[in-house]
């Protein structure tokens, strides 16, 4: 960490600052220039609040050199993390395809969806039981019953299941769930993250609508700091001024996170786009960018169109898409490394 002091800092305040830093086991390298003095802080600065230093009258600016996250940082863990889920693996060169309906609605619906996505090439089943809804007047999901139905579908098809938790009090229901999803709105629900850090389930952590890469990794760090290192990062679009798409899929997150972290990365094109016709192109882009997998909404209830989300694909479309994704994945793997 570099602290840039203002010109002619008050000596008392400077002494106070140095004493406080040393009490935190930080070494100080001072370098005095014509225009300003610089303190180089050496030691474990992850516990130092950068806002606190910035607040001091004598400080012009503070700059981190070390990232504030450790456990998810590729610098300290150069190998890709690979997470075993049932018979499949997430990360490490595998292509994971999670597919299924937006919400679990009935036994028949989830069973037929599970069969269809399995046949079409999916490696995991997704489906919402606890549903975060903007309006208190909207359907809030089948909740416990929804998870029971997902378990049935898992039993029949063998597909591992991923579904969302909304509150720590629901954790008991997730015993047979393979991957617990934390939704974008809960990315900084720190009390929930702490509880999940005490479990041994893989966590699919979705990036918040307006959260930076660093905040995203700090939320992963919350889970890992509790002891659970099985975190899967998921980009699902950020909020920008553009309204043609529901959100803006930040495709550059994929290569950026591959630099910063060793955790696997999944892309959710369905929620990012909000329009099913954009999902195939975004999915192909994600695989070409190096993502470890996708989570895609698929519905299979053509007679009763009202149960579809606007971003859901039909199973035959998903099937053709899956073939294309595996083909791109193969090409990417077979070519010489670019960098």
Characterize the bridge pairing of strands 231-235 and 265-267: parallel
Q: Compare residues 152 and 317 and give the one whose CB is closer to its own copies.
A: 317
Q: Compare residues 200 and 303 and give the one whose CB is closer to its own copies.
A: 303
Residue 151: what are its φ and ψ, rounded to 5°?
Answer: -60, -40
Q: Compare residues 19 and 87 and give the one whose CB is closer to its own copies.
A: 19
CA distance 203 to 220: 9
CA distance 154 to 286: 27
What minimum distance in Å lies between the beta carbon of 131 and its own copies?
Answer: 9
Q: Compare residues 176 and 240 and give the one whose CB is closer to its own copies.
A: 240
CA distance 181 to 171: 12
What minimum distance in Å lies between the beta carbon of 156 and its own copies?
Answer: 27
CA distance 86 to 159: 8
CA distance 115 to 117: 6
What minimum distance in Å lies between the beta carbon of 64 and its own copies?
Answer: 9
Q: Compare residues 153 and 182 and give the one whose CB is closer to its own copies.
A: 182
Question: What residue spans of 98-236 are helical by DSSP H?
Answer: 107-120, 144-157, 190-196, 213-225
Q: Which residues contact 174 (CB under 8 A, 6 or more apart)?
A: 147, 163, 165, 180, 201
CB 88 within 8 A of CB 160: yes
Count of C-beta atoms within a 10 Å radius of residue 28: 14
What minimum distance in Å lies between the beta carbon of 160 and its own copies?
Answer: 25
Q: Compare residues 133 and 155 and give the one whose CB is closer to its own copies.
A: 133
What minimum distance in Å lies between the beta carbon of 20 and its own copies?
Answer: 6
What minimum distance in Å lies between the beta carbon of 303 and its own copies?
Answer: 9
């Amino acid at each position: 960490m570099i602290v840039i002091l203002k010109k002619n800092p008050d000596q008392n305040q400077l002494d106070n600052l140095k004493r406080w830093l040393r009490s935190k086991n930080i070494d100080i390298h001072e370098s005095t220039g014509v225009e300003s003095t610089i303190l180089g802080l050496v030691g474990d600065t992850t516990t130092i609040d950068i806002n606190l230093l910035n607040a001091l009258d004598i400080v012009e600016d503070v700059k981190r050199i070390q990232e504030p996250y450790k456990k998810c940082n590729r610098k300290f863990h150069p190998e890709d993390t690979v997470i075993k889920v049932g018979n499949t693996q997430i990360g490490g060169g595998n292509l994971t395809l999670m597919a299924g309906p937006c919400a679990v609605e009935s036994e028949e619906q989830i069973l037929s969806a599970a069969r269809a996505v399995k046949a079409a090439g999916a490696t995991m089943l997704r489906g919402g039981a606890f549903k975060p809804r903007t309006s208190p007047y909207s359907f809030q999901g089948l909740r416990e019953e929804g998870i029971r139905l997902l378990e049935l579908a898992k039993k029949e098809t063998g597909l591992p299941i991923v579904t969302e938790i909304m509150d720590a009090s629901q954790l008991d229901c997730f015993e047979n769930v393979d991957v617990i999803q934390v939704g974008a709105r809960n990315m900084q629900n720190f009390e929930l993250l702490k509880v999940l850090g005490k479990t041994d389930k893989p966590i699919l952590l979705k990036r918040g609508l307006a959260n930076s890469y660093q905040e995203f990794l700090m939320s992963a760090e919350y889970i890992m700091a509790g002891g659970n290192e099985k975190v899967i990062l998921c980009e699902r679009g950020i909020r920008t001024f553009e309204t043609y798409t529901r959100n803006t899929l930040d495709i550059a997150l994929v290569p950026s996170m591959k630099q910063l972290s060793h955790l696997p990365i999944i892309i959710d094109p369905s929620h990012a786009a909000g329009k099913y016709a954009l999902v195939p192109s975004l999915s192909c882009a994600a695989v070409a960018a190096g993502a470890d997998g996708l989570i895609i909404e698929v519905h299979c209830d053509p007679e009763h169109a009202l149960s579809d989300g606007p971003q859901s694909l039909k199973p035959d479309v998903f099937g053709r898409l899956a073939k294309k994704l595996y083909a791109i994945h193969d090409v990417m793997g077979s070519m010489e490394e670019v960098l």
